[in-house]
Structure 1
Amino acid sequence: MRMRSLIAATALFAALSIGGPVAHAAGDPIHLEKQDWSFSGLFGTFDRASVQRGLQVYREVCASCHSLDYISFRNLADIGYSEAEVKAIAAQYDVVDGPNDEGEMFTRPGTPADRFVAPFANDNAARASNGGALPPDLSLIVEARAGFEDYIYGLLTGYGEAPEGETVAEGMSYNKVFPGFQIAMAQPLYEDGVTYADGTKASVDQMARDVTAFLTWASEPNLEERKRTGVAVILFLIVASGLFYASKRKIWADVH
């Protein structure tokens, strides 16, 4: 759950200056551009179509390296999928289960109650397949990075050629918003890298926005409910304050 208290938000704004320079390990500033997100603000909500496209990008591009350990298939109902669609998506995965009566582990088609299947059996296998680097789980990645969704979007769109005089180590890629500017993850998004089911043009910008929206939802699937609760509490306090004030005026009306 996203815990952006007023103190934390103020500290982050002051220390990280989102939309301005952000300090990184090398000491130089990186710049995150503030993006316009449908889920931002007190009344913001998730764009279901964008989040669903983001799921497609995750499954077709990111899932080969990155896990999504804390999301169950049944959670996809929250972003607009029907019960039948959730079952169909889950059934596309092979889930290790068991032991059976013979004491053996076995695989079966996934069910809505299962969580997304990790691409590697363990961390060592993940490192061995990625040149020693451990791809992070993406369930809470938006919450775990300074800059939140703006950082994830900036990272995905921040690949390019290194400036003149900048040396990029072997096996690394230049990224203008990654701390140190060199990242072990190769550029994941390319023009028309996926074919969107709804016909949307799959530009790098569009895919980055969609998968960022999906990962924001994954990091805090109850964001909309939290905002509704917050608005209800504020309205209650406003009404209660009015009643208390009116009662005070009535009770003390004859006291001079």
Structure 2
Amino acid sequence: MDQYEKVEKIGEGTYGVVYKARDRLTNEMIALKKIRLEQEDEGVPSTAIREIFLHPGFSGILSLATLASADEAEHGLPCPIYPWPHKGILSSYDHASIRRGHQVYQQVCASCHSMSLVSYRDLVGVAYTEEETKAMVAEVEVVDGPNDEGEMFTRPGKLSDRFPQPYPNEQAARFANGGAYPPDLSIITKARHNGQNYVFALLTGYCDPPAGVLIPDTSNARRDDDDGAEFRP
């Protein structure tokens, strides 16, 4: 891709962005299309292949490259592609792993991160039995109301309740985290470039800072490349 220089964006659709570009070798003006992929290992969609073959300038196309949802220059080093056991056509999520993941969320992540789209009933038959889930949620106090007198009140949780929020609003969350807003984890792998591969690489990538990089005492550093670091409060 270093052979081409982007001039301007000339179009955008659901699955890609089209740029006007210049070939650095021939000085010819061409069109480049960046294809948005949810996962880098999915390959080029068949609709994109058909579009290329129907293009009047197909005979001049030299190569076809699979582009991720953003350039490496925009996202740093590409993260590894891991052999997830649930990625096969007939594969499914391991219930024991989901249970461990929920326990980690409760004990560690829930103090900062919300999961506002997940209800306790979503855990039934997936990570816990119905009896286990009911016992768990009964220990949670939920603010409800208003009652007949117009006042809010607390009650024991029910299966239909969503997971509790760690902060009452965004301002409180930012104040408690040095200005950063902890993202909601409900669909975090859908909302990040390269999905679960990115999230796993992020969580396991914390290390000693590179030589010459000063890390504030209130932050943790994660390896991003040889010249910098990514911080979290």
How far residue 36 of structure 1 moved from its aligned partner, in angstroms, is 2.0
Higher strand share: 2
Amino acid at match of 1:130: N
* Paired positions, count: 176
Contact 1:172/1:182 (<8 A) preserved: no
Give 1:23's aligned residue.
73
Q: Distance in 2 between matches of 1:116 and 1:16?
A: 33
SS of the residue 1:63 aligns to: helix
Give 1:145's aligned residue.
192
Under a length normalisation based on structure 2, what TM-score does the superposition of the two structures give?
Answer: 0.67
Q: Distance in 1 between matches of 2:67 and 2:209?
A: 27
1:77 to 124, 127, 147: 124
Q: Distance in 1 between matches of 2:156 and 2:224?
A: 39
How far residue 177 of structure 1 moved from its aligned partner, in angstroms, is 4.2
Give 1:161's aligned residue.
208
Contact 2:38/2:69 (<8 A) preserved: no
Give 1:40's aligned residue.
87
Q: Distance in 2 between matches of 1:11 and 1:63?
A: 27
Amino acid at match of 2:210: P
Give 1:100's aligned residue.
147
Amino acid at match of 1:92: E
Contact 1:32/1:151 (<8 A) preserved: yes
Runs of at least 5 residues in structure 1 that lack an aligned partner in the other structure: 186-256
Give 2:165's aligned residue.
118
Runs of at least 5 residues in structure 2 that lack an aligned partner in the other structure: 1-13, 16-34, 42-65
Amino acid at match of 1:181: A
Under a length normalisation based on structure 1, what TM-score does the superposition of the two structures give?
Answer: 0.62
1:184 aligns with 2:212: no
Aligned-residue CA RMSD (Å): 2.8
Query: Aligned pair in 2 of structure 1 residues 17, 111: CA closer, same or farther (>3 Å)?
Result: closer
How far residue 11 of structure 1 moved from its aligned partner, in angstroms, is 8.5
Q: Distance in 1 between matches of 2:231 and 2:151?
A: 41
Q: Distance in 1 between matches of 2:204 and 2:130?
A: 34
Identical positions, percent: 42
Q: Distance in 2 between matches of 1:143 and 1:160?
A: 26
Q: Distance in 2 between matches of 1:102 and 1:94?
A: 20
Contact 1:145/1:151 (<8 A) preserved: yes
Higher helix share: 1
1:9 aligns with 2:57: no
Contact 1:98/1:106 (<8 A) preserved: yes
> Whose RCO is larger (CA < 8 A, sep 6+)?
1
Contact 2:189/2:196 (<8 A) preserved: yes
Query: Aligned pair in 2 of structure 1 residues 102, 135: CA closer, same or farther (>3 Å)?
Result: same
Superposition misfits of 4+ residues, deviation over 4 angstroms: 10-13
How far residue 100 of structure 1 moved from its aligned partner, in angstroms, is 1.2
How far residue 23 of structure 1 moved from its aligned partner, in angstroms, is 3.5
SS of the residue 2:87 aligns to: coil
Contact 1:24/1:30 (<8 A) preserved: no
